Structure 1
Amino acid sequence: MPALLATLLLMLVVSKLFFVEVMGGNVDLRRVCEAKQRIVVALAKSMSSSTDLSNDRPCNDVELTIVGLGKTIRITNEPTSQRFSFEGDTIFEQNRADLLPGGQEVLRNFGSSIAPIQNSFEEIQILGHTDNVGSEKFNLQLGAQRAMTVFDYMVGPVGINPLSTLVSVSSFGFYSPVARMRDATFSSNDLYVANSDDLKRRNNRRIEILIKYKFGRAEH
């Protein structure tokens, strides 16, 4: 019984410490929320989107989709990060890393949405994904080349400074289809099923931009 009581007391202390730590960062969480809202609202406006963004949806919704000008951008929220998923077919030429005119427009609109608040970012990760058509090597290279194309555009025309905000590039090839985002345990059969029709393969061909926000003590 004493051992059980000691364990319960320890759990209570740890819980309180965690609660205080999180509460101590609440001001910054609000700033992160404000930054998320600014990006999504500006992005939706640039796309002439009629997506409902009321009730702090850009911050509170775990998943949010913006549709406009024939483009779809899917947004996934975590407490201190935001993931933007862009359809590869609307940005790049087929099986190439060259930007389509519409792709340049999408990245330009996205860039103009994030550039004014880039000092709020801890890191930007640019992630290339493909479907399972073709070899492993081809798809890893294609994902990397496409991610580098986006990097060049973000650093060049957009003006993101990698010296002040860490920017990284990665390729997952066909190993991280959309279905795997929801299920970390994945088999070769799951990989096949995740690419079993045209729509699934289209959704898997994508570029993701993951923004990690600075999260520390609020500055006064």
Structure 2
Amino acid sequence: MLKNRFGFNFWPSFTDLMLSFVLIVLIILFVVSKMIAAGTENLDRARRSQQSIETQIEQGIGKQYKVVTLSDRDGANINKEMANRQADVYIIDKLDRQTITFSDKVLFDSGQSDIKAAGYEILNVVGPIIAKNLDNIGEIQIQGHADISFEDDFNLQLAANRAIAVYKFLQV
């Protein structure tokens, strides 16, 4: 009846079209699942790398200095946590990066940009750990901070000089 009306048999063409559609959907699902699996694998590798760096730093300086590890993955307020836990070194894990922050008393004296002896001790441990893990590190930022007791221009120069001092030390 349909063949007479349209001049051809409609159902085989429709079946071929639907089968093609199902195959395309299956291929898309397969590709998406592979992409998700690859992303999960990369995330697991990044977490293992972060844990390795934390462990190495803790073993290297944990006896002389207080090291606190915080995670930003839980939505915790990092600044509040840092204020509650007075430490010499903070390791902050985030989904996209790991931050190593030194307290204001460890690396420099107030108003100075020369690294203290304690700063050299810590950087002599942290520097090689970073160097060993460069395969898993995409970017390194060194930020210098200043004191609030001085003029703005002096503080700006002081922060820059502190960052440069740490950079030069780690570069060697």
1:99 equivalent to 2:115? Answer yes
* Kept after mapping to 2: 8 A contact 1:126/1:150: yes
Q: Does 1:115 align with 2:131?
A: yes
2:47, 2:105 → 1: CA distance? 30
Kept after mapping to 1: 8 A contact 2:73/2:94:
no
Instruction: Report matched runs for 1:1-150 at 5 Å.
Output: 24-49=38-63, 72-150=88-166
Q: What secondary structure does 1:129 align onto?
A: coil
Query: In the alignment, is the contact (CA less than 8 A) between 1:35 and 1:120 conserved in 2?
Result: yes
Higher strand fraction: Structure 1 or Structure 2? Answer: 1
Q: Structure 1 pair 90/151, CA: closer, same or farther in 2 (3 Å)?
A: same
CA change 1:30–1:155 in 2 (3 A) is: same
TM superposition shift of 1:24? 3.7
111 and 51 in structure 1: CA distance in 2 versus 1, 3 angstrom threshold = closer
Any unmatched runs of 5+ in structure 2?
1-28
Higher helix share: 2
> How far did 1:107 drift?
0.8
Superposition map of 1:161-200 within 5 A: none
What is the alpha-carbon distance in structure 1 between the residues aligned to residue 73 and residue 61 of structure 2? 21
Question: Helix, strand or coil for the counterpart of 2:144?
Answer: strand
TM, length-normalised to structure 1? 0.52
Give the gaps of 5 or more residues in structure 1: 1-15, 66-70, 157-220
**Deviation beyond 4 Å, 4+ runs, structure 1:** 19-23, 49-53, 57-65
- Cα deviation, 1:138-184, whole Å, max 9, x if unaligned, reads 1011000000011011111xxxxxxxxxxxxxxxxxxxxxxxxxxxx
- In structure 2, distance between residues paired with 1:36 and 1:127: 20
Considering only CA atoms, is the larger Rg found in Structure 1 or Structure 2?
2
Question: Following the alignment from structure 1 to structure 2, what is the Cα–Cα distance between the partners of residues 94 and 82?
Answer: 27
- Contact 2:108 2:116 (C-alpha < 8 Å) held by counterparts: yes
Residue by residue, what CA displacement relative to the aligned partner does 1:24-45 show, whole Å, maximum 9, x if unpaired? 4111111111111111101001
CA distance in 1, matches of 2:166, 2:93: 21
CA distance in 2, matches of 1:141, 1:52: 29
